[in-house]
């Protein structure tokens, strides 16, 4: 694996590297870690990489790696730059024949998203998008329960993602994470919804398989002087008749990372909270509530089991969820190299389709917020 | 106290009676418990009431009680009939000079609500409405924290009330509670929202003191064949700029009575759940999360303390919350009889104003649901 | 019902009165509320009792009430005095033919306990002891699950009762509740164990039906200058081979009233916490953990159902648990008056036997603490 | 790093490898993964190791690695064999000049433990013991709070570790994990206490710094036919006067890995549960209960911060706790190589002293269980 972005001071780069390293299936062999060549070199040194595999730009990396013999050159590239630098390196990677793992969201704009989708389709290369929360074992179990009908026909879907870290104008203090996320030139049309709202949309569709048909959005900028939305509430209507609510906010003072999903069907409901990811509550209409646990032998989903590392009671977390995306991507890639079919239980890594869907969602939110009409159809 | 409604097979009548009895401040002295005289008499016997104080109709009760000497006749009447029989007995009580405690919602229609409001204003009699959840000590504490600015200016308000008991067409089986609640002729224009959505609206305004300015509603009838809404989601805009979401549903299969309120201000947020009513979570922007407890000496609200019966760690529940409304109504009434000012800590019993507000809320929900426009102003 | 003790400033007297009043089955008709006649009279006035039924002493009360015609005189007496004033009024009541409800523990000493037991046996009168925690619906359910073998043969029993309110020498400040509880002349041989350790012992035997055979105790006085134990840990061995731990402490700074019971059998375990009394966790060996809820239709125990007032999700608490003891005592008494068999589901009110058992437990703890031997047989 | 043990079918070997890999500071370069050379080779292949660095025995590995040039040869060895194969490879490693990371417990017997301790003292080599639970950030915070006196003088310590997986005679079915753990020839004198009781003892002393002075143990073999204890309860007395309880059991049917620590001082208490490791409850005597969170800026311990990878709300788990031990060991080793002082915040990796203490604890438990005396002094 090579890496684009992820210099020493970038939070998410280190997360990707740990995730890739955890299972011993992926080796970081090269990188273009920063647009500043000196920074890139310093990062390479800290990561014990050989000097000649640390590049000054991603363009240089793709050119050089391509010339290396198979087996030596990187098998895929992980792109972990801010949103406005997703499209160009991803496009370049695909055009140079490299498979891609990309930090979400897919791109800066819906237009870019459609171009990338077309390029992936054309090249036939593998493309993964790190919607981390799909990597949790209990989300696999939730998906399995809903999709096998254990809860009956889905009626109501509630997803919420309250954070509090942008309750003050943090970006004015020079804090890096907030600076690019609140800057339309780097983040795109939406702040909060692009950052965390898309996780909600993705999680809902991942678990239920239902697509949002139309929505009614109310995005807000709560902190004065901020340029993008830092909060939003959305009414949802799904294909097949289910309805629901999506809430994402970054001004819920005191909240950390409280992503929560609830899905109610005719027979029961499920309830999952990211800060306590190893428990999945199932509330039944006709029997007592159950608490399912990561690693438990009583789960119904083989995908849950295959994405679990420790016995029940040994808590797994965000790191393992992230690592599941990388490991599964790597194992699917290996299956492809070996000409065999990938394990269907590992085949659910979000890809360019989910990424395009996310960008369409943002586009629709912006349109709905500007509209006086209650309902806005999802843009395609 | 006299009672209208609350025959032996009525759930809520017994709840009101226990609530009134708990503190030894209120004695049930008479009743017209049913429109069926025999049922009324049977109820009176079961409650050890003297035969001559058990009446065949509320009209007869008001007429007869009025003739009794002061000190012997009932001091106020508690009306616990279904929604469509709120207006007439309440009107008659007021016109006969009796103070009134009424089960929520205030009335069958918005029009009736306005008439009752005018009548209360004209007579100057006391009027209480049993929005039970305002009786919880931790709701008093929440109200105090918000209103004294401990959380800073309020930005976001989320209130939800998922129940699951109407997930099936229960009313077709003859189950009494569901039958009248889903019948437009007895319940009014709204099912779910009239029954539990109004509790949400009331709780939000009770705690924050902020009024809903406009809203965007999506009411649904999920169970086939049902005549009224059994589910709804509402986007809210408050005076002063706060926004939020109100959700109420009776088809969240597996849920019991999961009313939850979250309010976030500039400095922190509060989180309260009716099924665990003795804990109030406070999430701060600048210090660790705290858990406040009913009966704890560390609460800031004297109203919370005065509405608590046991030391911290001895859980109080729905019964005590309900009893607080009755006890406070009775103590306020006694203060009035004694010509002294009521204790301000007990003076927050919801009254006809809150009832009118609730009926306006329902009216607005219906209007918004029918509208293609996103926002609908609250009707006044 | 008449009452001995429970003057206006006594905490537990008011609790008993509310408990007795809640269900409208018991009327307080007379009392000797204090050894100070003026205090007794003031209490009677506050409770709206007729002057002639407020007595200067319990002796006077028993004498006078006995002379009243049946139907008018009190049917039973509730005794709510401190431990050292349990024996004499209970004895006098029984000797005068009155049924008795008594605040726990049974008596000041083991010797008194045996005398009371003999007197109850001799008179054949009804005798109830307010081990409040047995009144919770989920404790009824736990009892039913264990006793019907749902958990398999019981292997391990853990009961704990941490409180923190005596972490400082509160009794030196004149605080009344702590003063008598830490005074050997009023409380008996044990402080913490007499006050809350006996609740543990009682709860364990109530739920499991297993008797403690021998124990190994380590009682401590943690706060300097205190005269009685304020803390203790006990290893337990039960008849039939189960073992366990009992912990009770009043110096666990920050704890409120955290009584918790866990019972593990061959097939699963149960876990109940008094501060969240409406949930009962069942952890199974061969299926997912379940959470049972007060009022749920999925409970197995008809006794649980009959001791529940509200639908699931309307939390019941300490007050209702206490009221269940009074209501069941009253209903059993009425059955006796009517010459019919009491409902077996209501027949589990702790009585003089449980009281004697508790006093034997205290006696054994004291003996074990003084002993160098590991195991001490339960005294009989 | 080289590894002894940890063949493909060994659970704990993979855990160690993931832990070592997570932070990119440690590279697995060689191994003797099994006493069966073919198995060792197969493991080496699966781990992508060069053939010549996969050895047939640990003796061969130490001999061969020693001959490699510094920088190429392994810097330390990780030993992950069952208890009865701890001593010999650890001794050989030390004698060959290799630093050692060893899976707990230290050894098969107390005698071996003392020999290892002497050898570590003599060689001056670094020695780490994977008492995993000390690696959790909130345990660092707990340690800091207790040791800086935030809770006041410690009075009560409760530690418990219920598991349920040995509720049936699993070892009779050929299940590997249970087979060696219940076999005195491989596990040592104690089953449950050696396996998980030592974690309790270690955690208590790690957090509080208080040493157990004497104890009273009741170890049991609950499942018929089992050769070692599968359950035990212990009363504890600490230096300085604190007392407490240690419970560990493997027959609490339905429990997973529910290690919990509570420490109460004069000013407050702390409560930590391994299955929810990112929360630390602090219950105060003079203010509301607080919930501290991994990654929160409001923690007082710099060690907690340095052992945290993600922002608050991104749950870390068992894997990260384990990885903290490896990373800190590696960073301390690097500091030693570089001749600089290690970061004191990373210097708390349990070592041979804690290991010796654990073996003394087991020895004392066995002695106490066999004794009729209540108290047994800790063996030194």
Per residue, the 3-state secondary structure of D187-208, as one string, reads: HCCCCHHHHHHHHHHHHHHHHH
Tell me, yes or no, if C156 comes closer than 8 A to chain D by beta carbon: yes
C258 lies within 8 A of chain D by CB: no
pTM of the predicted model as reported, rounded to 2 decimal places:
0.97
The answer to whether the beta carbons of residues D335 and D352 sit under 8 Å apart is no
User: Is C135-312+355-368 in CATH node 3.40.1360.10?
Assistant: no
D272 touches chain C (CB under 8 A): no
How far, rounded to the nearest angstrom, does the alpha carbon of residue A303 sit from its chain's CA centroid? Answer: 18
CATH of domain B2-129: 3.40.50.720
Most A-contacting residue of D176, D313, D320 (CB-CB within 10 A), to test interface: D313
CB D237 within 8 A of CB D251: no
Q: Which chain B residues contact residue C275 at CB under 8 A?
A: 278, 313, 315
| Phi and psi angles of residue B50, each rounded to the nearest 5 degrees, phi first | -65, 140
| Residue C294 touches chain A, beta carbons under 8 Å | no
Q: Distance (Å, rounded) from C-alpha D71 to C-alpha D305?
A: 31
Least CB–CB distance from C298: residue in A287, A293, A298: A287
What is the three-class DSSP state of A160? strand
Q: Are A304 and A137 in contact (CB under 8 A)?
A: yes
Q: Among candidates B288, C252, A313, which has minimal Cα distance to D270?
A: C252
The residues spanned by each domain of chain A are: 2-129, 141-313+355-368
Per DSSP bridges, beta strands C76-79 and C2-4 are: parallel
In this predicted model, what pLDDT tens digit does every residue of D258-291 receive, in sequence order?
A: 999 999 999 999 999 999 999 999 999 999 999 9
pLDDT of residue A347: 93
Are C217 and C369 spatial neighbours (Cβ–Cβ below 8 Å)? Answer: yes
pLDDT digits (tens, 9 = 90+) for A174-212: 898 899 999 999 999 999 999 999 999 999 999 999 999
- Candidates 3.40.50.300, 3.30.360.10, 3.40.640.10, 3.30.70.580; CATH matching D136-310+355-368: 3.30.360.10
* Min distance C281 CA to chain A CA atoms (Å): 10
Which pLDDT does position C160 carry in this prediction? Answer: 98
**C118 has pLDDT over 90:** yes
Are D281 and D270 spatial neighbours (Cβ–Cβ below 8 Å)? Answer: yes
- pLDDT grade, residue B10 (50/70/90)? confident
| B309 in contact with C, Cβ within 8 Å | yes
**Quick check: D288 and B293 CB within 8 A?**
yes
Section C69-94 average pLDDT:
96
Q: Is the pLDDT of residue B80 over 90?
A: yes
CA dist., res. D121 & res. C23, Å (int)? 73
So what's the pLDDT on residue A181?
93
Q: Is B313 on the interface with C (CB under 8 A)?
A: yes
Q: Which stretches of chain A score pLDDT less than 50?
A: none
Quote the CA–CA distance of C362 and C194 in Å, as a whole number.
6
Residues C96-115: what's their mean pLDDT? Answer: 96
Q: Which whole number is the average pLDDT over C275-287? A: 98
Question: D211 touching B, CB under 8 A?
Answer: no
Q: Which of A266, A374, A376, A377 to mutate to test the interface with B (most CBs of B within 10 A)?
A: A374
* Nearest chain A residue to D163, by CA: A313
Q: Tell me how far apart the alpha carbons of residues D157 and A224 are, in angstroms, rounded to a whole number.
A: 49
Q: Measured between CA atoms, how close is D276 to chain A, in angstroms?
A: 7
Largest CA distance in chain C: 64
C200 vs A236: CA distance, rounded Å: 51
The pLDDT of residue C71 is 87
- Quick check: do C2-129 and C135-312+355-368 share a fold? no
pLDDT of C63 reads: 97
Rounded mean pLDDT, C119-143: 98
Question: Could you tell me if B87 lies within 8 Å of chain A, comparing CB atoms?
Answer: no
Cis peptide before A105 (omega within 30 of 0): yes
For position D328, what pLDDT does the model report?
Answer: 98
Q: What is the pLDDT of residue A28?
A: 96
Q: How far apart are CA B345 and CA D184, in angstroms?
A: 68
Phi, psi (rounded to 5 degrees) for B295? 85, -5
Where does the pLDDT of residue C11 fall: very low under 50, low under 70, confident under 90, or very high at 90 and above? confident
A289·C293 Cβ contact <8 A: yes
Q: Is B46 on the interface with C (CB under 8 A)?
A: no
Question: Distance from C151 to chain A by nearest Cα, in Å?
Answer: 16
List phi, psi (to 5°) of B93: -60, -50
Arithmetic mean of pLDDT, D304-330:
97
Percentage with pLDDT > 90 across chain B: 97
The burial of B37, by beta-carbon neighbours within 10 Å (0-12 exposed, 13-18 middle, 19 or more buried), is given as middle
Angle at D55 between CA D53 and CA D60, to 5 degrees: 110
Strand partners, C234: C217, C246
The pLDDT of residue A71? 87
Q: Are strands D376-377 and A212-220 parallel, antiparallel or unpaired?
A: unpaired
- Rg of chain B over CA atoms, in angstroms? 21
pLDDT of residue C10: 80
Inter-chain Cβ pairs, chain C and chain D, closer than 8 A:
132
Inspect the interface and report whether the beta carbons of A252 and B167 lie closer than 8 Å: no
**Nearest in space to B1 (alpha carbons), one of B14, B11, B21:** B21
Tell me how many degrees the CA angle B36-B40-B46 measures, rounded to the nearest 5.
Answer: 145
| Exposed e or buried b per residue across D347-376, where buried means at least 16 C-beta atoms within 10 angstroms of its C-beta | ebbbbbebbbbbbbbbbbbbbbbeeeebeb
- Measured between alpha carbons, how far is C208 from C236 in angstroms, rounded to an integer? 14
A296–C292 C-beta distance less than 8 A: no
Domain at A141-313+355-368: CATH code: 3.30.360.10
Task: Mark yes or no for CB contact B24/C276 under 8 Å.
Answer: no
Which tokens belong to A2?
């090579």
Contacts of C285 in chain D (CB under 8 A): 164, 167-168, 253-254
- Complex ipTM, two decimals? 0.96
Give D267's contacts in chain C (Cβ within 8 Å). Answer: 253
Contact C310 B318 (CB under 8 A): yes
Task: Compute the Cα dihedral for C107, C110, C115, C121 and give only its sign.
Answer: positive
Distance from CA of D257 to the nearest CA of A (A): 5
Q: Does domain B137-313+355-368 have CATH number 1.10.1060.10?
A: no
For D22, the closest of A18, A48, A277 (CB atoms) is A18
Tell me the backbone φ, ψ of residue A266, rounded to 5 degrees: -65, -25
Does A78 lie at the interface with D, CB-CB under 8 angstroms?
A: no
Measured in whole angstroms, how far is the alpha carbon of residue C316 from the centre of its chain? Answer: 18
Distance to chain D for A153, nearest Cα, Å: 31
Minimum Cα–Cα distance from A257: chain D residue: D313
Q: Does B253 touch chain D (CB under 8 A)?
A: no
Mean pLDDT, all residues of chain B: 96
Asked whether A112 and A138 are in contact (CB, 8 A), the reply is no
Nearest C-alpha neighbor of D167 from the set D175, D157, D156, D159: D175
Return the residue in C17, C163, C176, C317 with the most chain B beta carbons within 10 A, the one to mutate for interface testing.
C317
Q: Which of B146, B252, B266, B268 to mutate to test the interface with A (most CBs of A within 10 A)?
A: B252
pLDDT at D71: 87
Arithmetic mean of pLDDT over chain D: 96
CB neighbour class for C64 (10 Å; exposed up to 12, middle 13-18, buried from 19): middle
Of C282, C288, C298, the CB nearest to A292: C288
Q: State the nearest Cα–Cα gap between A255 and chain C, in angstroms.
A: 24
Residues of D in contact with C291 (CB under 8 A): none
What the block records as the tokens of C5 is 């003790």
For residue C157, is pLDDT > 90?
A: yes
Strands (DSSP E) contained in chain A are 2-4, 30-32, 76-79, 99-102, 127-129, 154-162, 212-220, 231-238, 243-249, 260-265, 268-273, 279-284, 289-293, 376-377
Q: Are D108 and D331 in contact (CB under 8 A)?
A: no
Is the pLDDT at D11 greater than 90? The verdict is no
Could you give the CA distance from residue C165 to residue B18 in angstroms, rounded to a whole number?
A: 31
- CB–CB contact A216 B167 (8 Å): no
C296 touches chain A (CB under 8 A): yes
B chain contacts of residue D293, beta-carbon cutoff 8 Å = 288-289
C-alpha A131/C-alpha A321 separation (Å) is 10
């Amino acid at each position: 694996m090579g890496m684009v972005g992820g210099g020493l001071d970038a939070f998410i780069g280190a997360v990707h590297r740990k995730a890739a390293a955890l299972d011993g299936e992926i080796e970081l062999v090269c990188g273009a870690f920063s647009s500043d060549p000196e920074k890139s070199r310093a990062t390479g040194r800290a990561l014990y990489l050989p000097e000649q595999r640390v590049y000054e730009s991603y363009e240089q990396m793709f050119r050089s790696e391509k010339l290396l013999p198979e087996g030596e050159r990187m098998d895929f590239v992980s792109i972990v730059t801010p949103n406005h630098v997703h499209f160009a390196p991803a496009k370049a990677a695909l055009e140079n024949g490299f498979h891609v793992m990309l930090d979400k969201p897919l791109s800066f704009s819906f237009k870019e998203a459609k171009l990338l989708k077309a390029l992936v389709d054309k090249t036939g290369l593998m493309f993964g998008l790190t919607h981390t929360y799909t990597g949790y074992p209990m989300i696999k179990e939730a998906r399995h329960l809903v999709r096998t009908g254990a809860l009956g026909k889905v009626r109501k879907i509630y997803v919420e993602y309250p954070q509090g870290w942008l309750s003050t104008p943090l970006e004015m203090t020079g804090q890096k994470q907030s600076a690019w996320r609140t800057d339309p030139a780097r983040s795109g049309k939406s702040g909060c919804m692009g950052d965390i709202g898309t996780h909600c949309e993705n999680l809902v569709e991942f678990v239920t398989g239902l697509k949002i048909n139309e929505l009614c959005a109310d995005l807000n900028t709560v902190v004065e002087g901020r340029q993008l939305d830092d909060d939003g509430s959305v009414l949802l209507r799904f294909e097949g008749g289910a309805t629901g609510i999506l809430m994402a906010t970054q001004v819920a003072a005191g909240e950390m990372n409280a992503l929560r999903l609830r899905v109610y069907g005719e027979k029961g409901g499920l309830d999952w909270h990211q800060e306590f990811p190893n428990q999945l509550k199932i509330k039944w209409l006709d029997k007592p509530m159950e608490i399912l646990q990561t690693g438990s032998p009583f789960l119904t989903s083989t995908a849950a089991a295959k994405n679990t590392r420790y016995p029940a009671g040994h808590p797994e977390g965000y790191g393992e969820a992230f690592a599941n995306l990388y490991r599964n991507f790597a194992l699917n890639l290996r299956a492809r190299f070996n000409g065999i079919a990938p394990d269907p239980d590992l085949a659910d890594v979000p890809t360019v389709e989910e990424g395009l869907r996310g960008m369409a969602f943002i586009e629709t939110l912006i349109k709905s917020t500007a509209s006086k009409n209650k309902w806005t159809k999802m843009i395609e």
